[in-house]
Structure 1
């Protein structure tokens, strides 16, 4: 049976007070509408249609791909008018699932339940019971059958006591939906076409109207303002934190945890407060993450320790940290950083596009860019690889058991052989053979009886 998924994403979102269209505002690092699309991907719809309007070019550029079709609603004349624009794009027969691009946390399980309940021959409404339903459209039933949606302003006193409300999400038989939206009119105060008017049409035709309830308020909360966005962010982050803790992760404070991507954890992982995880992150058994770290697109091996205030960003290249490694505090790992087991990267050390073999150490105030570093290397404080000549990047190769003294500059391309030593303060431009000592600095001069200049009065 054919399935169409339609996402309404044409609204301006005036209350967001932003140049960015509302559906592109970020929740957990992803656009609101992207959440909706990702959460319904497992339904394997035959057609996925996004209705755009305000900021259409921006919205379409941000989510294009994966077979998504776009239909524009210009001007925006209500929800019914939006669905009218999709009629030529809907696959015939089957079911059409209608979602809102600003209701990002609708679950796969709920959307699947709606599609199954519709079965191509029923109109299915997603509903929820509120303790205070003021302002929401009420679901009026006769027995189990839904007979109407009554807006709060139009409801009688008896109807206002109904707590079951419509969420704005529905599944409908596609052919009937096409027919119904073609019959909508805008004979109302707002001069708009309301999709909810099709409920009366279905009842009049004898098409069963079913209300499927959700008990999870979070999955049907929409976003209309920065305040609502922040509140939904906290709900979402707490839900992710609870799921991780259920799986055994130790979070020092679930209220001070942010996941904006995918986090996979082994056993006995500990995460301190105010850490942010983005992209694809994997933490091995026994990993400990200190407070105030930002960790993005990296795999961290078992028993590694990431000290406080460390920033890791693998970006597209990714990064990796070996088993038992010690990173930070105040360290920075950039794309292409590949650290072996028991590597030490200390405070104010930056590593970019470099491989460090087992046991290598750069403990203080250093830079390693475009370098290959052997096992057990000790890389001194203040030392750098000068990898850029103004036009091209070049590689530095440092063999096993090399000792690089403090405040050295290794001008790439250069190779330091196994077991070599680089004297502190050296600037090297030529290769060093294995086992050699290389010193390249001006000879120390001591002047006796020298006086500092004095300020003129």
Structure 2
């Protein structure tokens, strides 16, 4: 049976008080709509239609980039005349057979298992609603059921929007989440019969329930595993609440795997994080993109790690920033990084490398045991084993138009405050005297010094500030 998925993402989100379309506001580092589309990827849909409206160009462009390989199509709702009107815009692209699953772009944490259960509850012949019981149902459409009898459970007969509900109906705590699955052929007919004679003058998707009852289509309910799955976002406060719920859930999954988090309330995962055994993560750390931590890795407080592989036994001291971007960063076994270090794209560190405070490494490889412990820069460099790179030293890798490479052999000692003007090679065992500015290769095993002779001027006096 064919499956079509419609995601409603046309709303302006007035309460967000932002010029950005609501569905592009980020949760865990990704737009809310990206979470929903990502969840649908494993459902095997033949059609995936996103209804856009406010900020349609920006929404469509962002999703085309993020899901270039997905069978993604768009339909625009202009003007926005309600949820029923939104789904009506997708009708020309829907087939006549199969099931249509309707999701919301501002309900980002729906699980694939819940969406699949909703489709199965429909079975191609029933109207299946995703409902949940909330302590505070304010703002949600209420599920109105028939009275139970001795022979049957109470069945759904209608959904009443909060603004149209009576006091008795507002007391109902079972609410409609905005998500449903329906036989596509019947859904098309029900959408065509929608009317806007309600308090808002809009076409409500929820009115298809009454159509189903009238047409003899069974109306059934499915339920999420957790209410967090079905919470929508209409304000910055709601987005922040959902962010913390999501982060707490991710933290708990990691702790179940044996990861030690100093405080799960101060942990942020905005991508994927794979951890080995006995990993320790201190407070206020942020992980973005794809990150893997080997056995016994320790991450100090206030670190940011993005697109990086950190091998077993490495220690990342507090306030270190690792950003692998597209090229990635690798930190070898037993390495010590930071505090206050910065590893940029292309930094590939071997085993037992030391990168200390206020040292920046970009597009460079450091072999086993190399050390740059203080206030240094290594860019576009190949550094050999056991190199000692002095405080204040830099590779001058950019000539204003092109980047050039510095090659430092094994067992080289670079003194403090040196400038290595690339392209340049320092031979194995070379020693570079402190304060040298070097523009020529340094021979292996020799001391190379490139600095002017000190001059002292007798009788020189400092300038004196003139009175005003």
TM interval, shorter chain, is over 0.9
Shift of 1:152: 3.8
Matched, 1:96 2:106: no
Distance in 2 (alpha carbons) for counterparts of 1:96 and 1:199 = 15
- Of 339, 345, 359, 1:335 maps to 345
SS of equivalent residue, structure 2 residue 89: helix
| 1:10 equivalent in structure 2 | 10
- Tell me the distance in 2 between the aligned counterparts of 1:86 and 1:157: 35
Question: How does the TM-score come out when normalised to structure 2?
Answer: 0.95
2:158 aligned with 1:151, yes or no?
Answer: no
The answer to whether 1:73 aligns with 2:77 is yes
CA RMSD after TM alignment: 1.4
2:319 and 2:339 in contact (8 A); partners too:
yes
Partner Cα distance (2:431, 2:248) in 1: 52
Secondary structure, counterpart of 1:234 in structure 2: helix
CA distance in 1, matches of 2:225, 2:404: 59
- Residue ranges of structure 2 left out of the alignment (5+ in a row): 147-152
Provide the residue aligned with 2:25 in structure 1.
Answer: 25
Counterpart of 1:374 (choices 378, 384, 388) is 384
3-state DSSP of counterpart to 1:114: helix
User: Could you tell which deviates more after superposition, 446-455 or 319-328?
Assistant: 446-455
1:60 aligns with 2:70: no
Deviation of 1:453 (Å): 4.4
Compute the displacement of 1:449 (Å).
6.2
CA contact (8 A) 1:124 1:171 kept: yes
1:282 matches 2:292: yes
Aligned to 2:254: 244
User: Take 2:346 and 2:78, find their aligned partners in 1: how far apart are those partners?
Assistant: 46
Which residue among 137, 156, 177 is the counterpart of 1:133?
A: 137
- The size of the alignment, in residue pairs, is 457
Alignment of 1:418 with 2:428, yes or no, is: yes
Match runs of 1:352-391 below 5 Å: 352-391=362-401
Once the two structures are superposed, residues 41-81 of structure 1 have per-residue CA deviations (whole angstroms, 9 ceiling, x without a partner) of 11121111000011000000000132210000111111111
Q: Say if 1:340 and 1:202 are closer, same or farther in 2 by CA, change over 3 A.
A: same
Residue 156 of structure 1 and its aligned partner are, at CA, apart by 4.9
**1:435-454 correspondence to structure 2 within 5 Å:** 435-447=445-457, 451-454=461-464
The Cα of 1:451 is off from its aligned counterpart by: 4.7
CA distance in 2 between counterparts of 1:280 and 1:332 reads: 18
Moved >6 Å (runs of 4+)? none
- Provide the residue aligned with 1:46 in structure 2: 46
CA contact (8 A) 2:164 2:198 kept: no
Could you tell me how far apart the structure 1 residues matched to 2:400 and 2:139 are? 63
Taking the TM superposition and a 5 Å limit, the aligned residue runs for 1:139-288 are 139-142=143-146, 143-156=153-166, 158-288=168-298
The 8 Å contact of residues 353 and 369 in structure 1, kept in 2 or not, is answered as yes
Q: Structure 1: any 5+ residue segments left out of the alignment?
A: none
Alignment partners' CA distance in 1, 2:324 and 2:237 = 32
| Structure 1: distance between partners of 2:169 and 2:342 | 60
